[in-house]
Amino acid sequence: MEVVEAVNNPPKRRGIAPVKAEFIINKQNSQENCDSVFGDEEVGDDSKNKEPSKKKSRVTRKRGRNKEQAKTTFAEPIRLCYKISLSEQCDNEFCKFSHDLQAYLNVKGEDLGDRCTNFEKFGKCRFGYRCRYLKAHLSPDGKLIVNEGLASSGIFVEEKNNQSIQIQKQLRTHSYKFPRADAYLAEMQQEIEKQRELEKANRLAKLNPDDKLNKPSEDDDVANDQLDTNEANEDFTLKNEEEFVENFDSNNKNINARKRIKLENDDFKNKEKEEFEEETELKSRNDLNVEEFIDTPDVPLRTREKKKITFKNKLYLAPLTTVGNLPFRRICKEFGADITCGEMAMATNLLQGQQSEWALLKRHINEDCFGVQICGAKAEHLVKCAEMLNNEIEADFIDVNLGCPIDLVFNKGGGSKLLMHDGRLGKILKGMNKIMDIPVTVKLRTGILDNLPLAAKLVPKFQSWGVELATLHGRSRQQRYTKLADWKYISEIALNTSGMNFFGNGDVLGYEDYYHHIENDHVDGVMIGRGALIKPWIFDEIKSKRHYDISSKERFDILKKFCDYGMEHWGSDTIGINQTRRFLCEWMSFLYRYIPVGLLEVLPQRINERPPAFRGRDELETLMASPNSKDWVKISEMLLGTAPDSFVFVPKHASNSYEG
């Protein structure tokens, strides 16, 4: 690792990274591959197999992620019972898995190597005969080897927040209890009824709506946030909002979105009331008994004492869907990340006990400040999910996703869609804050449309709703990851925010970017996302205020460590190996964008500058810079052995912020 000083000469071409001339190669054969992954927004559209259209359709434009990603399963031909794989006796007479060990070994395939990371670390491999590095813990007579010195601790994985079978069963049978969430929802229902009576009395008496004699008190948070006329005047509604947002032409800069928005207080009031009634309706299920709470004393549900976290000036690794997995977070922790957060989990799936969703909550023991991010649309789901997580997992904070731009989430009312409904959002955040022992944080975008930002209206309300930290990504939903993040807008909001931690997020790829925002944009800290994916040692660079020229061998060692961590997390059997391979390739779809410091004419590298086709200082460095996904699979084979014939990788993420 070589330390390099920054050079401040201006780049030669706008939007193109200034690579030294001696390293640039003919890009005729590489441009198509580059565009197929990151260059355009139509990634994953099978364009290679079709005649090129003269005009690109705005309707079919695919943004943000590959929607035609290949679905690959990694099932083994024979599924061996895990008891048999550990040389134990299976007592389950209804076991669906094979108990013929020899038949399994005959079709298993050759070992990938003679070093098992699980056996080396824990003294016992929890995958036994299924391990693809079986020879590392197999005696000459075919028996499994156990290192009693290491295995005596009984610890075979360094992870927390594993879902118990009992909790999963309670969630799936709807027998899990939510006493505090139910009490809060009952309080909200009572306030709705109270407000209805007041409105009815005012209508009958033909009172002026501004008459303060019959208005609810200012301390009545629930009534004020949702139904107070003055508050409603501050809100907005999009007429036929789903149709408008989906059909909005992102390329037509002359369209004034504000002309399509109409403030209709009466319609808005009725619409919001209907939505609120729907989300807070107390269903007659076994796990929700309204009567139990109606007769409780008039003392409101008290907010719990919160665990204190110092967020200011901490290096925060962003929650990253798919690529922000536990092995990647371990890599970033070792390079100096202070705060980590799990991948976005859907609240409804967690409440149903879905094992795949609960896996996103797992925490490594080295993650000393760790949060989980949840996403949802209704107060009932998010508040109940918060109570469950507060009781069942170890986390230092819970983050609410208010920025997810994908249609699947947005059209159901979650993610960035909640920015349009601050009444509902206020109830969600206040309810979560009341029932949890740990802080509530939020991550949001500037708004839905480019020219109609909403964050400036919402951020001042977050503190009164109990939010400990708000992180603003300087892009709208419409913008996704194109163009640069609007740090001027972030700075304006940060300047007027006090009493609450406020972080900015977007386009940080070096220590100069980080300290520029800290010193000039009034933020308490910076969340780092794609910058950490492109070069995870960015945290070390920030703390040391230096550029590191990482060699290809050092970068390869980082990938090797990721694979070791992946086999600890996903497993060293066939399924776990190929899961590790898949997530390694997902990470490579960002890593290839890194330009070695020694190849640049001007430092630092900018996240919006497209790298020209270049060769590295050795063959491995050249291979790591390839935009071809087949080369990423080739790198995975150098670490994990030959990929199965059925393994076809198409990157899930297609985020793009290049200029030009």
Q: What pLDDT digit, counting tens, does each position of 250-283 carry?
A: 444 443 444 443 433 444 444 444 444 444 443 3
Assess if residue 480 is contained within a domain.
yes
Spatial contact of 487 and 521, defined as CB atoms under 8 Å apart = yes
CATH for 357: 3.20.20.70
d(CA 246, CA 237): 15
Position 316 scores a pLDDT of: 99
Residues 46-74 have a mean pLDDT of 46
Same domain? 86 vs 68: no
Position 306 scores a pLDDT of: 78
For residue 561, pLDDT beyond 50: yes
Same domain? 577 vs 535: no
Query: Which runs of E-coded beta strand occur in 306-409?
Result: 316-317, 340-341, 345-346, 363-364, 370-375, 397-402
Within 43-90, residue ranges assigned H as helices are: 82-85
Residues 234-238 have a mean pLDDT of 39
Confidence of residue 650 (pLDDT cuts 50, 70, 90): confident
State which of 131, 160, 189 marks the end of a domain.
Answer: 160
For residue 581, pLDDT beyond 80: yes
**Terminus-to-terminus CA distance in the chain, angstroms?**
33
State which of 126, 160, 194 marks the end of a domain.
Answer: 160
Assess if residue 654 is contained within a domain.
no
Position 100 scores a pLDDT of: 96
The larger pLDDT score, comparing residue 431 to residue 4, is at 431
Instruction: Supply angle C-alpha 64, 161, 348, rounded to 5.
Output: 50
Tokens of 63: 């943004």
Tokens of 141: 């007579």
Give me the domain span that covers residue 513. 316-546
Same domain? 523 vs 606: no
Q: Which helix (H) or strand (E) is 469 found in, with range?
A: strand 467-473
Spatial contact of 99 and 81, defined as CB atoms under 8 Å apart = yes
d(CA 283, CA 329): 40
Residues 116-133 have a mean pLDDT of 96
The answer for residues whose C-beta is within 8 angstroms of residue 32's C-beta and 6 or more apart is 48
Residues 73-79 have a mean pLDDT of 82
Position 363 scores a pLDDT of: 98
Same domain? 30 vs 55: yes
Least confident stretch, 36-45, 207-216, 220-229, 521-530: 36-45
Q: What pLDDT digit, counting tens, does each position of 408-436 carry?
A: 999 999 999 999 999 999 999 999 999 99
Assess if residue 656 is contained within a domain.
no
For residue 5, pLDDT beyond 70: no
Same domain? 401 vs 504: yes
Position 512 scores a pLDDT of: 97
Confidence of residue 216 (pLDDT cuts 50, 70, 90): very low
Position 200 scores a pLDDT of: 87
Least confident stretch, 52-61, 347-356, 485-494: 52-61
Same domain? 403 vs 326: yes
Assess if residue 219 is contained within a domain.
yes
Assess if residue 99 is contained within a domain.
yes
Confidence of residue 208 (pLDDT cuts 50, 70, 90): low
Q: Is 404 a catalytic residue?
A: yes
How many angstroms from the chain centroid is the CA of residue 183? 30
Spatial contact of 64 and 480, defined as CB atoms under 8 Å apart = yes
Confidence of residue 2 (pLDDT cuts 50, 70, 90): low
Same domain? 212 vs 266: yes
Same domain? 573 vs 509: no
Position 72 scores a pLDDT of: 54
Residues 492-511 have a mean pLDDT of 95
Residues 551-574 have a mean pLDDT of 98
Spatial contact of 548 and 605, defined as CB atoms under 8 Å apart = no
The answer for residues whose C-beta is within 8 angstroms of residue 554's C-beta and 6 or more apart is 1
For the chain, percent of residues with pLDDT exceeding 70: 75
Confidence of residue 123 (pLDDT cuts 50, 70, 90): very high
Position 481 scores a pLDDT of: 82
Same domain? 418 vs 488: yes
- Name residue 445's beta-bridge partners: 473
Nearest to 640 by CA among 116, 135, 144: 116
Number of domains forming the structure of the chain: 4
Same domain? 493 vs 571: no
Give, in order, the Cα–Cα distances in Å from 487 to each of 209, 472, 495. Answer: 41, 10, 12
Question: How confident is the prediction for the chain on average, in pLDDT?
Answer: 82
Least confident stretch, 219-233, 543-557, 608-622: 219-233
d(CA 611, CA 621): 14
Same domain? 40 vs 146: no
- Name residue 525's beta-bridge partners: 503
Tokens of 204: 């009958």
d(CA 590, CA 68): 19
Tokens of 17: 């990274």
Tokens of 189: 């229902």
d(CA 375, CA 417): 11
Tokens of 320: 């990253």
The letter for the amino acid at 406 is: I
Assess if residue 494 is contained within a domain.
yes
Spatial contact of 133 and 640, defined as CB atoms under 8 Å apart = no
Determine which one of 125, 341, 385, 404 is catalytic: 404
Q: What pLDDT digit, counting tens, does each position of 449-492 carry?
A: 988 999 999 999 999 999 999 999 999 999 888 889 999 999 99
Position 236 scores a pLDDT of: 38
Q: What pLDDT digit, counting tens, does each position of 298-325 carry?
A: 444 566 677 889 999 999 999 999 999 9
Q: Count Cβ atoms below 10 Å from residue 464 Cβ, excluding itself.
A: 14
Nearest to 328 by CA among 508, 484, 561: 561
Position 535 scores a pLDDT of: 97
Give, in order, the Cα–Cα distances in Å from 56 to each of 4, 179, 412. Answer: 43, 54, 28
Give, in order, the Cα–Cα distances in Å from 554 to each of 262, 519, 550, 621, 622. Answer: 57, 32, 6, 10, 14
Q: What pLDDT digit, counting tens, does each position of 23-39 carry?
A: 999 865 554 444 333 33
Spatial contact of 489 and 446, defined as CB atoms under 8 Å apart = yes
Spatial contact of 623 and 448, defined as CB atoms under 8 Å apart = no
Position 262 scores a pLDDT of: 40
Same domain? 148 vs 251: no
d(CA 333, CA 71): 31
Q: Which helix (H) or strand (E) is 371 found in, with range?
A: strand 370-375
For residue 149, pLDDT beyond 80: yes
Spatial contact of 302 and 217, defined as CB atoms under 8 Å apart = no
Instruction: Supply angle C-alpha 375, 565, 443, rounded to 5.
Output: 20
